[in-house]
Structure 1
Amino acid sequence: MTDEKPRSNAWQSALTMLQEAQPPFIPAGAHVMTVVIEYPPGDPGTPPHRHSGPAFGYVIDGEMLLEVEGEPERVVRAGEAFCEPGKPMLTLVDEEELAQRRDRRAPRPS
Protein backbone atom coordinates (compact mmCIF):
# COMPACT_ATOMS: atom_id res chain seq x y z
CA MET A 1 0.00 0.00 0.00
CA THR A 2 1.32 3.47 -0.83
CA ASP A 3 0.99 6.67 1.13
CA GLU A 4 -0.75 8.56 -1.70
CA LYS A 5 -2.62 11.68 -0.70
CA PRO A 6 -6.22 11.89 -1.84
CA ARG A 7 -6.63 14.04 -4.94
CA SER A 8 -8.15 17.46 -4.26
CA ASN A 9 -10.76 19.08 -6.48
CA ALA A 10 -8.33 21.90 -7.39
CA TRP A 11 -7.93 20.46 -10.90
CA GLN A 12 -11.56 21.39 -11.62
CA SER A 13 -10.76 25.10 -11.39
CA ALA A 14 -7.08 25.05 -12.44
CA LEU A 15 -7.76 25.97 -16.07
CA THR A 16 -8.40 29.61 -16.99
CA MET A 17 -9.64 30.35 -20.51
CA LEU A 18 -7.48 33.14 -21.94
CA GLN A 19 -8.87 33.29 -25.46
CA GLU A 20 -11.25 31.31 -27.62
CA ALA A 21 -11.51 31.49 -31.41
CA GLN A 22 -13.03 29.58 -34.30
CA PRO A 23 -10.38 27.36 -35.86
CA PRO A 24 -9.28 28.57 -39.28
CA PHE A 25 -8.84 26.44 -42.37
CA ILE A 26 -5.47 24.79 -42.06
CA PRO A 27 -3.89 23.74 -45.35
CA ALA A 28 -2.15 20.41 -45.86
CA GLY A 29 1.47 20.55 -44.82
CA ALA A 30 0.90 23.29 -42.25
CA HIS A 31 2.57 23.00 -38.87
CA VAL A 32 2.25 24.47 -35.40
CA MET A 33 5.04 25.95 -33.29
CA THR A 34 5.24 27.16 -29.72
CA VAL A 35 7.94 29.76 -29.25
CA VAL A 36 9.21 32.22 -26.66
CA ILE A 37 9.97 35.71 -27.93
CA GLU A 38 11.87 38.05 -25.64
CA TYR A 39 12.39 41.75 -26.33
CA PRO A 40 14.27 44.12 -24.03
CA PRO A 41 12.20 47.00 -22.61
CA GLY A 42 11.61 49.73 -25.19
CA ASP A 43 12.52 47.52 -28.17
CA PRO A 44 10.30 48.28 -31.20
CA GLY A 45 9.86 44.54 -31.86
CA THR A 46 9.37 42.88 -35.22
CA PRO A 47 8.77 45.00 -38.33
CA PRO A 48 5.43 44.50 -40.14
CA HIS A 49 5.20 40.91 -41.40
CA ARG A 50 2.75 38.10 -42.18
CA HIS A 51 2.37 34.55 -40.93
CA SER A 52 1.28 31.63 -43.09
CA GLY A 53 -1.38 30.77 -40.53
CA PRO A 54 -2.82 32.06 -37.27
CA ALA A 55 -0.47 33.01 -34.46
CA PHE A 56 -1.52 32.96 -30.83
CA GLY A 57 0.46 34.69 -28.12
CA TYR A 58 0.51 35.36 -24.42
CA VAL A 59 2.40 38.15 -22.67
CA ILE A 60 4.23 36.84 -19.61
CA ASP A 61 5.83 40.07 -18.41
CA GLY A 62 5.50 43.75 -19.36
CA GLU A 63 3.35 44.85 -22.26
CA MET A 64 3.51 45.21 -26.02
CA LEU A 65 1.81 47.26 -28.70
CA LEU A 66 0.02 44.96 -31.16
CA GLU A 67 -1.16 46.05 -34.58
CA VAL A 68 -3.12 43.62 -36.76
CA GLU A 69 -4.06 44.81 -40.24
CA GLY A 70 -7.57 46.30 -40.27
CA GLU A 71 -7.79 46.62 -36.48
CA PRO A 72 -6.81 49.48 -34.19
CA GLU A 73 -3.50 49.16 -32.34
CA ARG A 74 -3.87 47.83 -28.84
CA VAL A 75 -1.71 47.26 -25.82
CA VAL A 76 -1.44 43.64 -24.69
CA ARG A 77 -0.38 43.41 -21.06
CA ALA A 78 1.11 40.66 -18.92
CA GLY A 79 -1.47 37.94 -18.40
CA GLU A 80 -3.31 38.68 -21.66
CA ALA A 81 -3.49 36.58 -24.82
CA PHE A 82 -3.72 37.71 -28.44
CA CYS A 83 -4.31 36.25 -31.88
CA GLU A 84 -3.00 37.23 -35.30
CA PRO A 85 -5.16 35.71 -38.06
CA GLY A 86 -2.34 34.94 -40.51
CA LYS A 87 -2.10 35.50 -44.24
CA PRO A 88 -1.07 33.26 -47.13
CA MET A 89 2.67 33.89 -46.80
CA LEU A 90 5.40 34.52 -44.24
CA THR A 91 7.48 37.52 -45.20
CA LEU A 92 8.56 40.91 -43.99
CA VAL A 93 6.56 43.65 -45.65
CA ASP A 94 8.67 46.28 -47.40
CA GLU A 95 8.00 50.03 -47.20
CA GLU A 96 6.49 50.14 -50.71
CA GLU A 97 3.94 47.46 -49.88
CA LEU A 98 3.13 49.19 -46.59
CA ALA A 99 2.40 52.38 -48.55
CA GLN A 100 0.20 50.48 -51.01
CA ARG A 101 -1.78 48.87 -48.17
CA ARG A 102 -2.15 51.96 -45.96
CA ASP A 103 -5.92 52.03 -46.58
CA ARG A 104 -6.20 48.68 -44.78
CA ARG A 105 -4.64 49.97 -41.58
CA ALA A 106 -6.82 51.22 -38.78
CA PRO A 107 -6.34 54.90 -37.97
CA ARG A 108 -3.93 55.46 -35.11
CA PRO A 109 -5.30 57.34 -32.13
CA SER A 110 -3.89 60.87 -31.83
Structure 2
Amino acid sequence: MKNLIRSEREEHGWTQAVLAEHLNVSRQTIVAIETGKYDPSLPLAFRISRLFDKPIEDLFFPTVPEAQAAPERSRRRSRAGTRWRRTPTAPAPQGRTVLNPPSSAPQSIPGDG
Protein backbone atom coordinates (compact mmCIF):
# COMPACT_ATOMS: atom_id res chain seq x y z
CA MET A 1 0.00 0.00 0.00
CA LYS A 2 1.34 3.41 -0.88
CA ASN A 3 1.32 6.17 1.68
CA LEU A 4 2.30 9.76 2.35
CA ILE A 5 3.77 9.16 5.80
CA ARG A 6 7.29 10.29 4.89
CA SER A 7 6.11 13.59 3.39
CA GLU A 8 3.81 14.26 6.38
CA ARG A 9 6.62 13.44 8.81
CA GLU A 10 9.06 15.72 6.98
CA GLU A 11 6.43 18.48 6.81
CA HIS A 12 6.23 18.35 10.62
CA GLY A 13 10.03 18.40 10.84
CA TRP A 14 10.16 15.05 12.62
CA THR A 15 12.73 12.30 12.31
CA GLN A 16 11.64 8.69 12.00
CA ALA A 17 12.63 8.20 15.63
CA VAL A 18 10.42 11.08 16.80
CA LEU A 19 7.43 9.80 14.81
CA ALA A 20 8.02 6.30 16.18
CA GLU A 21 8.02 7.68 19.72
CA HIS A 22 4.74 9.55 19.12
CA LEU A 23 3.15 6.34 17.84
CA ASN A 24 4.77 4.03 20.40
CA VAL A 25 6.39 1.85 17.72
CA SER A 26 9.98 1.19 16.69
CA ARG A 27 11.86 3.34 14.20
CA GLN A 28 12.17 0.23 12.02
CA THR A 29 8.37 0.06 11.85
CA ILE A 30 8.29 3.63 10.54
CA VAL A 31 10.96 2.79 7.95
CA ALA A 32 8.98 -0.25 6.81
CA ILE A 33 5.72 1.73 6.56
CA GLU A 34 7.35 4.60 4.64
CA THR A 35 8.99 2.25 2.15
CA GLY A 36 5.79 0.26 1.64
CA LYS A 37 7.27 -2.97 3.00
CA TYR A 38 4.77 -3.04 5.86
CA ASP A 39 1.10 -2.09 5.92
CA PRO A 40 0.17 -0.82 9.37
CA SER A 41 -2.60 -2.44 11.37
CA LEU A 42 -5.89 -0.60 11.39
CA PRO A 43 -5.40 0.71 14.96
CA LEU A 44 -1.93 2.00 14.02
CA ALA A 45 -3.29 3.59 10.83
CA PHE A 46 -5.92 5.38 12.95
CA ARG A 47 -3.23 6.63 15.36
CA ILE A 48 -1.19 7.94 12.42
CA SER A 49 -4.29 9.58 10.99
CA ARG A 50 -5.11 11.32 14.27
CA LEU A 51 -1.50 12.40 14.80
CA PHE A 52 -1.36 14.12 11.40
CA ASP A 53 -5.01 15.27 11.66
CA LYS A 54 -5.86 13.79 8.26
CA PRO A 55 -8.31 11.10 7.16
CA ILE A 56 -6.80 7.66 6.65
CA GLU A 57 -7.70 7.71 2.95
CA ASP A 58 -5.60 10.87 2.52
CA LEU A 59 -2.56 9.12 3.98
CA PHE A 60 -2.90 5.56 2.65
CA PHE A 61 -4.09 4.31 -0.70
CA PRO A 62 -3.97 0.82 -2.16
CA THR A 63 -1.83 -0.09 -5.10
CA VAL A 64 -3.39 -2.23 -7.78
CA PRO A 65 -1.09 -4.90 -9.20
CA GLU A 66 -0.70 -4.62 -12.97
CA ALA A 67 -2.36 -7.99 -13.44
CA GLN A 68 -5.51 -6.66 -11.77
CA ALA A 69 -5.36 -3.17 -13.28
CA ALA A 70 -6.16 -4.31 -16.82
CA PRO A 71 -7.50 -7.85 -16.82
CA GLU A 72 -7.48 -9.55 -20.18
CA ARG A 73 -10.76 -10.62 -21.59
CA SER A 74 -11.31 -14.30 -21.70
CA ARG A 75 -10.76 -15.77 -25.14
CA ARG A 76 -13.13 -18.56 -24.33
CA ARG A 77 -16.58 -17.62 -25.45
CA SER A 78 -19.81 -19.47 -25.64
CA ARG A 79 -20.87 -20.76 -29.03
CA ALA A 80 -23.51 -18.86 -30.92
CA GLY A 81 -27.00 -20.30 -30.69
CA THR A 82 -26.56 -21.97 -27.32
CA ARG A 83 -29.05 -19.85 -25.46
CA TRP A 84 -31.10 -21.72 -22.96
CA ARG A 85 -34.83 -21.56 -22.98
CA ARG A 86 -37.48 -22.60 -20.56
CA THR A 87 -39.34 -25.67 -21.81
CA PRO A 88 -42.31 -26.98 -19.87
CA THR A 89 -42.43 -30.71 -19.28
CA ALA A 90 -45.46 -32.88 -19.83
CA PRO A 91 -48.54 -31.64 -17.96
CA ALA A 92 -48.14 -34.33 -15.32
CA PRO A 93 -48.65 -32.82 -11.85
CA GLN A 94 -45.30 -34.15 -10.61
CA GLY A 95 -43.29 -32.91 -13.61
CA ARG A 96 -40.89 -29.97 -13.37
CA THR A 97 -39.75 -27.36 -15.87
CA VAL A 98 -36.39 -28.20 -17.43
CA LEU A 99 -33.99 -25.86 -19.19
CA ASN A 100 -32.84 -27.25 -22.53
CA PRO A 101 -30.67 -25.88 -25.29
CA PRO A 102 -32.76 -24.97 -28.36
CA SER A 103 -31.52 -27.93 -30.40
CA SER A 104 -32.53 -30.63 -27.94
CA ALA A 105 -35.97 -31.98 -27.34
CA PRO A 106 -37.78 -31.19 -24.08
CA GLN A 107 -37.10 -33.63 -21.30
CA SER A 108 -39.42 -34.70 -18.56
CA ILE A 109 -38.11 -35.31 -15.08
CA PRO A 110 -40.49 -37.10 -12.73
CA GLY A 111 -41.28 -35.36 -9.47
CA ASP A 112 -40.08 -36.50 -6.08
CA GLY A 113 -43.53 -37.62 -5.01
Shorter-chain TM-score: what band? Answer: under 0.3
TM-score by length of 2: 0.22
Larger proportion of strand: 1
Larger proportion of helix: 2
For the pair shown, the structure with the greater C-alpha radius of gyration is 2
